[in-house]
Amino acid sequence: MHKKLFIPGPIEVSQDVLEKMATPMIGHRTKDMSALQQSISEKLQKVMMTNNTIVLSTSSGSGLMEGAVRSFTKTRAAVFSIGAFGKRWHKMCTSNGIAADLFESELGQPTTPEMIEAALSTGKYDLITITQNETSTGIHNPMDKLAEVYKKYPDVIVCVDAVSSMAGDYIPVDELGIDVCITSTQKCLGLPPGMAIASVSEKAIKKAETVENRGLYFDYLELVKFVKEKPYQYPSTPSESHMFALDYQLDKILAEGVENRYKKHCKLAKIAQDWARENCALYSNPENLSVTVTCVTNTTGIPTSDLIKAMGEKGYLMSNGYGPLKDKTFRIAHMGDLTEEELNTYLSDLKDTIAELQAKA
């Protein structure tokens, strides 16, 4: 039995999108493939609100995150972490021999403008990484406030992890001055996992030309070269299935409207947050709650593993807390093509399940 996914990725994929994954293959060095990649790129520019170059990667978002710190760090990186995935970006730096410092916020709290200023005012860093949305704690960063600070340092490359938020949250890439914005397919874009996406500024591209040992598979210069010079090709063999589905799904997203899709995610988030306040408790800072995933403190007296098992028996896959929050919290994803009706049904069944288990306790 398929369990309906309410985890923060991969998310449920609509049947019509899944069917596009079964499109027959074409030659990956043909004009038809170039036309497909160009179509995807132009649509992604609209979704991401950017004029920057779009690159694709047959990988998870982690591939382009690692490629970013390798391609654009020449002296030292400042990694701002609001949870597990920010710390992961720091590990990518140290694993590749890149000098980097980690600036951590308390779990459930955002990166602050003061933290950015304190780091950049030292003049030590030529690259910063920011997690726009952290699924482990259910918060997003106040990017407009952070941008006011880092824009004062125009020589610094700004890399943003929007893996779990692009096409859900409001992230106007160019307006925010983001040089490298990374996302992937299995979250708000509503596709299966396996493809990552990044927008890359000209400033970042010029910087990469001065950086040695960028690697090969995730070398942004190589990715950009194939987009610009071939044009619209991919250095190695791409996941054509993802590209067929992505091109189709982007049409649906643009027909819905980027702003309307953001408003829908905000509405879903409010439903989940209100449920959490009424039935348990919200874990994170209420002023910076994510619009794509809610982290709930488990105050029910029922072990989270028991809740997950019971919900599984009702046909749902529920998400435990992540890392140090495992068994202390659980998470409710509300992203992609999820409807209000589907979310309300899930939350109603979860409330009933809690009551049933409490009655047995």
pLDDT, tens digit, for every residue of 256-279?
A: 999 999 999 999 999 999 999 999
pLDDT, tens digit, for every residue of 169-200?
A: 999 999 999 999 999 999 999 999 999 999 99
pLDDT, tens digit, for every residue of 68-91?
A: 999 999 999 999 999 999 999 999
pLDDT at 316: 98
Sequence-ordered alpha helix ranges (H) in 27-139: 31-48, 61-72, 84-95, 113-120
Here the tokens at position 316 are 């749902």
Mean pLDDT of 320-327: 96
Best CA proximity match to 208, nearest among 116, 126, 90, 101: 126
Q: What is the CATH number of domain 4-9+258-360?
A: 3.90.1150.10
Query: Residues of CATH 3.90.1150.10 domain(s) within the chain?
Result: 4-9+258-360
Q: How far apart are CA 276 and CA 286, in angstroms?
A: 12
User: What Cα–Cα distance (Å) separates residue 78 from each residue in 62, 119, 157, 166, 214?
Assistant: 18, 7, 10, 23, 18
Best CA proximity match to 88, nearest among 140, 144, 135, 146: 135
pLDDT at 361: 81
Side-chain-facing half-sphere of 242: CA atoms under 13 Å: 20
pLDDT, tens digit, for every residue of 200-248?
A: 999 999 999 999 999 999 999 999 999 999 999 999 999 999 999 999 9
Give the chain's end-to-end CA distance (angstroms, integer): 28
Query: Residues of CATH 3.40.640.10 domain(s) within the chain?
Result: 17-255
Q: What is the CATH number of domain 17-255?
A: 3.40.640.10
